[in-house]
Each structure stands twice: as C-alpha cells, then as structure tokens.
Amino acid sequence: MASPESTPAILSWTSHPAVEEPARNLIVILFLAITAGALWLATHSGYWVVLGVVVLLVGVRQWFLPTHYRLDDTGAQLRILFYRRRQEWARIKRASADRRGVLLSPFPFPSRLEAFRGMYLRFAGNREQVMCFIQARIEKGGR
C-alpha cells in the first residue's frame, strides 16, 4: 500500500448523490410520496403526514444535500449542512469499501454496531485516491 509520505496531507471532496445519480431520485421521491399517502390513509391528519415526511427527509438528507468530506493526518471528517462528524485514525480498525464508498469502522470485524459507530464516506470519482489515503493512515497506526 501507499506510504503516508506518498499521499497528500489533506484530501477533501464533495459528494451529492441526488446530482450524481439522478435516476435514483425518482425512487426516493416515490418512497416519500407513498409514505405520505399511507400516513394520510392511516390517520387522516395533515399534522402526522407532515411530521412523518419531515422525519424521513431528515433521514435521507445525505441524499439531497451535498456532503463535504475531509481526510487529514489526524482523522476523517464529514460535514452536511450544520452537522459535523469526525473520526480519529487511532479509533479506526477497519475500512470496508464497496462500489459507492468506504465504511470506516472502529471494530476489527464486521458488527451490527458499525452503522452507528462507523463513518461512511461516499466516493465522488476518487475511489483509488481515497482508499490509498485511508490505507496509509490505518497502517501508520500499526494496524
């Protein structure tokens, strides 16, 4: 793998799935509309429909809003609107990549808690660069 000296000191990028994968927007919007309709049929209350849709929009905010990622020598950070989250390299035990991104996990083996304690970074056409950066930092920590 790449050594920390051969990778940049800071790597940052922005991912905006709604712009990068416009065909999937229809699925997300259709899901929101079906849920709103089901809530209306179940409650006949505009209050519950609005509340339900707002809760779902908060849950899928990373789809509709751009997410800014920053990797440096101390850790990984993601920022979306007013929310910031940071993971230090010392806490990361494993990086699991898939087609769309990489999960930075504090567990050495797959765990159901990864969704809550890990951090998922979406690629934006920079998969190799991100993976080299991450592997260099994880190896530097002695893992």
What is the tens place of the pLDDT at every residue in 57-115?
999 998 999 999 999 999 999 999 899 999 999 999 999 999 999 999 999 999 999 98
CATH of 4-16+65-140, picked from 2.30.29.30, 2.30.30.90, 1.10.1580.10, 3.90.1150.10, is 2.30.29.30
Using DSSP's 3-state secondary structure scheme, residue 74 falls into: coil
User: Whole-prediction pTM value?
Assistant: 0.82
Provide the phi-psi class of 65: left if phi over 0, else alpha when psi is between -120 and 50, else beta.
Answer: beta
For 4-20, write each residue's pLDDT tens digit.
Answer: 456 678 999 999 999 99
Helix, strand, coil percentages (3-state) for the chain, rounded to 5, are: 50, 25, 30
- The count of other CB atoms within 10 Å of the CB of residue 41 is 9
- Residues 67/81, Cβ–Cβ less than 8 Å: no
Q: What are the extents of the domains in the chain?
A: 4-16+65-140, 22-61
Provide the phi-psi class of 91: left if phi over 0, else alpha when psi is between -120 and 50, else beta.
Answer: alpha
State yes or no: pLDDT of 139 exceeds 60.
Answer: yes
For the segment 30-41, the average pLDDT, to the nearest whole number, is 96
For the segment 137-141, the average pLDDT, to the nearest whole number, is 75
State yes or no: pLDDT of 1 exceeds 80.
Answer: no
* Residue of 93, 98, 89, 90 whose CA lies nearest to 121: 98
